[in-house]
Amino acid sequence: ETERGGEESYNILSGFDTELLAESMRVSPDIARKLQGRSDKRGNIVRVRRGGLRMLRPATERVTDEEMMRGANAAAAAGNGIDEAVCLMKLRENVADPMKADLYTPNGGRITVLNSQKLPVLKLIKMSVNRGVMRRNAILAPHWNINAHAAVYATSGSAKLQVVSNEGRPVFDG
């Protein structure tokens, strides 16, 4: 088996470069190798001890769109026609709003994911949207899209990107 994963890999992290994984998760290379699970055959369940997992969120200063729309959603649910549902369907969402970030870290940046759960019209066109704002020298830890393709582009700065297949094999490093 190679340093970057291969035929015998047991989780998706095994395909990433060990040093890059260690840096992105702020752990030692030894811990990163353990996370890659090259000798672990237990599966993909991760256990977190009570109190060991914290979620970071941007500070809130105003009422969210979801809170404002609760009244409109109740009225829309009372209707029974598809035409009515399509007419009342929300067609716009501000992915630039920091309050809507799905992933957030104060020193790294934020990522907002927009899918059919948040904006139902996307189901009709079978699309989703991801928007990331990264700070200088930030690293986005490994993540994946299930049953989806992703188009990634940088509007400023530069980026190094590694892509790993669902078997844990590296397919792109650039």
Q: What is the CATH number of the domain that holds 68?
A: 2.60.120.1450
Does a structural domain hold residue 5? no
Residue type, 35: L
Which residues in the chain show pLDDT less than 70?
A: 1-12, 40-48, 52-91, 125, 141, 145-154
Inside any domain, residue 19: no
Q: In what order do the strands lie in the sheet with 103-105?
A: 103-105, 109-114, 129-134
Asked whether residue 16 is assigned to any structural domain, the reply reads no
The residue segments making up the domain with residue 69 are 49-173
* Per-residue model confidence (pLDDT) at position 113: 84
pLDDT at res. 7: 44
Closest C-alpha among 18, 5, 39, 15 to residue 144: 15
CA angle in degrees (0–180, nearest 5) for 64-70-72? 120
- What are the DSSP E strand ranges found in the chain? 103-105, 109-114, 129-134, 162-164, 170-173
Q: For residue 28, tell me if it sits in a domain.
A: no
Output Rg (C-alpha) for the chain, integer angstroms. Answer: 20
Asked if residue 38 belongs to a domain, the reply is no
Assess if residue 44 is contained within a domain: no
Helix (H, G, I), strand (E, B) or coil at 104: strand
Q: How many domains does the chain have?
A: 1
pLDDT for res 64: 53
Question: What pLDDT is attached to residue 77?
Answer: 47
Position 88 scores a pLDDT of: 56
